[in-house]
Amino acid sequence: MKKTMAVLVFGLASLGASGGTLAQNRAWNDCIHRAAVASGVSESAIEVAVENDGARGDRYILSWIVRGNDWRRQRGYCEIDRRAKNVVRFETTPYNSDDQDRDRDWEPFQGEYPHVRVDTDGKGYFSSRVLRSDRLDRGYVDTKDQVSVSLRGRDGFRVTFYGTVIASDGNREITLRITSSDRGQARGRASLRLNHDRNEVEWISLKGRMIDGEEFSAEFNRNR
């Protein structure tokens, strides 16, 4: 964790953060937290760094990676809004076949997690070779009955992924292993966060692969 904090301090200094340092730290910490939840590791296992071109424009990119040689070692990035000082996009590396084979051996999560059925207005995108929408307007989460995550778009688009809870902080953060979809078999991971009252969805992040090898990714945010 000391190394991570050192990277954070150096990155903030190089970006000239002064009065906004505390808010900037929150954005960086949010990125680290999302990466840890999505990867199923502790926050201390996440290493972050600012991309070289991050000093230009209204947004910059934080690259993250899971340290070590564990099979869960993933990488990705967070796109940070320089003015709002928050994460506007979160991505992980594409799901691959080796991960899918290992994923079959995972056991259902035995800890506490929120049992809810909620849906919330927001914005986002869903991207795959066949299905695509940049006009998502509502996200749905069900961890009470059949565990699922659904996304709806203003253009009539809708897709649902089913799975199993594999990780949670016991409060607002939940990670799902995707096992199927209403479009056919699928494998992947869904990460989500509820609001403080746990009656709305703050954000949803999806990454995976359909049975035919088609990769998909999605990001939905209530505050976007």
Domain ranges of the chain: 2-93, 117-221
- pLDDT of 53-106, one tens digit each? 444 568 888 888 887 655 456 778 888 888 888 888 887 764 444 444 444 445
CA–CA gap between residue 131 and residue 208 (Å, rounded):
13
Higher pLDDT pick, 49 / 148 = 148
Q: Give Cα separations from 85 to 53, 59, 82 (angstroms).
A: 17, 9, 5
Closest of 61, 99, 68 to residue 82, by C-alpha: 61
Name the pLDDT band for 211 (thresholds 50, 70, 90).
Answer: low
- pLDDT of 192-207, one tens digit each? 999 999 999 999 999 9
Q: How wide is the angle at C-alpha 69 spanned by C-alphas 36 and 43, nearest 5°?
A: 20
The tokens describing 50, both together, are 């600012």
DSSP string, 119-178: EEEEEEEEEESS-EEEEEEEEEEE-SSS-EEEEEETTS-EEEEEEEEEEE-SSSEEEEEE
CA–CA gap between residue 159 and residue 58 (Å, rounded):
32
Per-residue pLDDT, 66: 83
- Give the percent of the chain with pLDDT over 90: 33
CA–CA gap between residue 220 and residue 173 (Å, rounded):
15
Tokens 């691959």 appear where? 96
Per-residue pLDDT, 206: 94
The tokens describing 111, both together, are 């800890």
Higher pLDDT pick, 194 / 146 = 194
Q: What is the CA radius of gyration of the chain?
A: 17
The tokens describing 93, both together, are 């590396």
CA–CA gap between residue 43 and residue 113 (Å, rounded):
19
Q: Is the dihedral of CA 203, 207, 211, 214 positive or negative?
A: positive
Give the SS3 label for residue 203. strand
CA 103 to chain centre: 18
- Verdict on whether the full-model pTM lies above 0.75: no
The tokens describing 14, both together, are 């190089």
Q: 86-120: string of b/e by CB count within 10 Å (b at 16+)? A: bbbbbbbeebeeebeeebeeeeebeeebbeeebeb
